[in-house]
Structure 1
């Protein structure tokens, strides 16, 4: 059985920070993006695939297919899971995917979001989803890049 070495919430999914810092830090060799909209957008999928270094496998799936893949990770894979929203992780958990920890890396400002912690913003619904995830036994923290400190969200809720 393989392992999930990073589960990260980030609006941008794949970007320089993930590709350089987190990929090196975790030793990941398979990136799994779980996002229904991205999975259905061939243009975005092709752009994402161009951002992934050679030798790193990329899967872009909706929630149902993503859950199925993550429950059957091959033994030689170190998986980085990326999703845009906490609700996606809650759906994965409800579909039987286990996570020890989920980090919040990039949830930027939007009309419907308020500042949650420094440059991280969240809606009331997203904060409620954080509570459900934490109540299910999964640790959650804000951790933007590996060489900076992290901050558990328990006290922010």
Structure 2
């Protein structure tokens, strides 16, 4: 099993805050994006790779390939998982990927979502997915920026 040091839900995936604060905070050496759409889009992958410091390895997988990769032998890297929605993490966990905690950092407003906490919104299915993760014994918390305190998601779903 890979050494997963941080798992974050952030629908923006790679952006300045993730690059300058979260990866350093976790002392991560590899970012693993799990997103079926991004995995099919070489142009978006190229843009993301150009946004990541040269010292950080970036991997982009669809959900199925991510399960295989994350369950593989430890490669000595400190893995930072990034996903857009909690449903992806439910799929990973249901298929044997061990995740101890999940930072919910950014899920934007759009049709079918209602406000959940600060600027974080969720659809009924996303709320159900968060509850599923909590019920599996995983610590799930809101923390939008590094200077924020952790807020237990269980109070909101």
Local SS of the residue matching 2:93: helix
Q: In structure 1, what is the Cα distance between the partners aligned to 2:40 and 2:94?
A: 22
**Which residue is equivalent to 1:12?**
12
Q: In structure 1, what is the Cα distance between the partners aligned to 2:73 and 2:83?
A: 17
Local SS of the residue matching 1:102: strand
Local SS of the residue matching 2:105: strand
**Which residue is equivalent to 2:111?**
111
Counterpart mapping for 1:15-26 below 5 A: 15-26=15-26
Quick check: 1:93 aligned with 2:98? no
Query: Which consecutive aligned stretches of 4+ in structure 1 deviate over 4 angstroms post-superposition?
Result: none
Residue 111 of structure 1 and its aligned partner are, at CA, apart by 1.4
C-alpha contact (below 8 Å) 1:3/1:73 kept by paired residues: no
Residue 73 of structure 1 and its aligned partner are, at CA, apart by 4.9
Cα 1:32–1:126 change in 2 (3 A) is same
**Aligned-residue CA RMSD (Å):** 1.1
Q: In structure 2, what is the Cα distance between the partners aligned to 1:37 and 1:73?
A: 26
C-alpha contact (below 8 Å) 1:2/1:79 kept by paired residues: yes
C-alpha contact (below 8 Å) 2:2/2:70 kept by paired residues: no
Q: In structure 2, what is the Cα distance between the partners aligned to 1:55 and 1:129?
A: 33
**Which residue is equivalent to 1:83?**
83
Q: Gapped runs of 5+ residues in structure 2?
A: none
**Which residue is equivalent to 1:74?**
74
**Which residue is equivalent to 2:37?**
37
Q: In structure 1, what is the Cα distance between the partners aligned to 2:141 and 2:114?
A: 18
**Which residue is equivalent to 2:154?**
154
C-alpha contact (below 8 Å) 1:67/1:92 kept by paired residues: yes
For this pair of structures, how many residues does the alignment match? 157
Cα 1:73–1:44 change in 2 (3 A) is farther
Q: In structure 1, what is the Cα distance between the partners aligned to 2:119 and 2:155?
A: 17
Local SS of the residue matching 1:140: strand
Q: In structure 1, what is the Cα distance between the partners aligned to 2:74 and 2:92?
A: 18
Q: Gapped runs of 5+ residues in structure 1?
A: none
